[in-house]
Chains A and B, each alone.
Chain A
Amino acid sequence: PVTAGSIVVPYGHAIGNEKWRGSEMAQRLQGKIRLIFEDGLGLVDFHLSSRTCILYISEADLVAGDEFKRRLVRFRNASSLRGIVIVEKTQISNQYFMAVQKLVALELGMVLLPVSNQGEASQLITQLVSFCVRELSRERSSNPFLRKRCPQPAEAAVVRTVQQIPGVGKTKALLLLQRFGSIHQLCNASVKELELVVGQTAAQQIHRF
């Protein structure tokens, strides 16, 4: 059975599939995050938040054949949750990695993260949980990739743009902008108007551009 619906995950917790009880990963996780085990999670191994969940593919799954592919496709079809696939990439399973990445990341459009053992996976999951917590607590600005950059005044950029017109250097660019105010108006200026600011040759060059 596929559990497709979202599960309510308490703040700062993660919900693990019953089958992980007593595993190395669970033991390592328990010191760092609060882990609750639940039956009947179906295809999912861990729920990190009500929107994000983890599917774990072990080295053995990879070697055993295509069963894990069916599992991923079933998950993708049944659920709108954000699925993160963690895959054990070891010396033995390395040869399958590129094919798995193509399926998961490019065809199914899910996230794929390689780890080399359960220890690394637990460290990764800990970080993911901490980001899920921050997302809920509206501390989004702590993520540098989501922070809005403060808008810079456009003046310097406008001058640089106008300087790209042939025959216009910094001095002429400043004179032109002072007279016409914006690139839009500069482009709609007639040769006569331009001649009042710069010389005849430059005016014609600008107008032609």
Chain B
Amino acid sequence: PPAPLQRPPSLCILADSKEISSGAEVISCLKALHGMKVQVCSLGSGDYVVSNRLAVERMFLSELLSPASRTKVTQRIQCLQSTFERVCVIVEKDRAKAGETSRICQRTQCCDGVLAALLQAGVRILFSSCQEESAALLKDLALLEQRKNAAICVPTEVEGHKREVLNFYLTIPNLSYPAALNLCHHFGSLKELTNSSPVEIAAGAQVSMQKAEQIFHYLHYGFDLHMLP
């Protein structure tokens, strides 16, 4: 058992590298205001990962309102759904540009349609009016996930050989970044992982049994040169 006086480790959130430019205030609020550890990495899909199973996509209200961006929104969410057990969307109000008087935002049928579809698919939706509020929501989500024992507990910075192994794991289809990190820290070598059963993989990567079986099948997948495109 851990020493009783030990301070709980500060909560960790993974942020995608593109958020450095588009969500700088979110990241600085998380660090300065809420005292969280923010690790910037290339997530591929999703903007933030707050636990082993929950990914958060930050989306602007304007994207939701216009039918033109509907396919793009759909693709982004589908991609997350195939990788993460739980998906949450934070709908953020667009920042008013300088010199712009408050735009009249007409709520569109498209917007309601997307919302209804997301709800039916079990995607959690939160609303925020600025980057600061988005940061507060991310912190609350991370706390909630920590209470449910899903927080990211392994070191998020890896270097040298471990980095190479992590990159190897990240190419496994539909494997989330935290799951790859967990694999990296849990298994001493690649050989150990490939000789593990799905049950051991599920425990090591902190993923569902179904996902573990997918990984297991991928590692044992019989390669056929003729199937290459």
Contact = CB atoms under 8 A, between A and B. Distances in A.
Interface string B121-146: 10111110100010011001100100
A76 B89 CA distance: 23
Interface stretch (A17-25, A59-67, A138-146): A138-146
A145 B172 contact: no
A101 B127 contact: yes
A123 B109 contact: yes
Given A101-B127, A145-B81, A157-B173, A164 B119 contact: no
Interface stretch (B3-11, B52-60, B190-198, B202-210): B190-198
B224 interface: yes
B107 interface: yes
A27 interface: no
B77 A124 contact: no
B223 A182 contact: yes
Nearest to B173: A157
Q: How large is the interface on B (under 10, 10 to 19, 20 to 34, 35 or more residues)?
A: 35 or more
A208 B136 CA distance: 45
A131 B117 CA distance: 7
Nearest to B113: A127
Interface in B214-229: 218-225, 227-229
A152 to B, nearest CB: 8
Interface residues of A, number: 52
Contacts of A160: 171
B64 to A, nearest CB: 12
A147 B81 CA distance: 11
Contact of B222 (A106, A145, A157, A182): A182
Contacts of B219: 182-184
Interface stretch (A7-15, A37-45, A109-117, A194-202): A109-117
A157 B214 CA distance: 13
14 contacts: A106-B144, A114-B127, A128-B119, A131-B117, A145-B74, A145-B120, A145-B121, A146-B120, A157-B173, A158-B223, A160-B171, A161-B168, A183-B218, A184-B219
Interface of B: 74, 77-78, 81-82, 107, 109, 112-113, 115-121, 123-127, 129, 133, 136-137, 140-141, 144, 161, 164-165, 167-168, 171-173, 190-191, 194-195, 218-225, 227-229
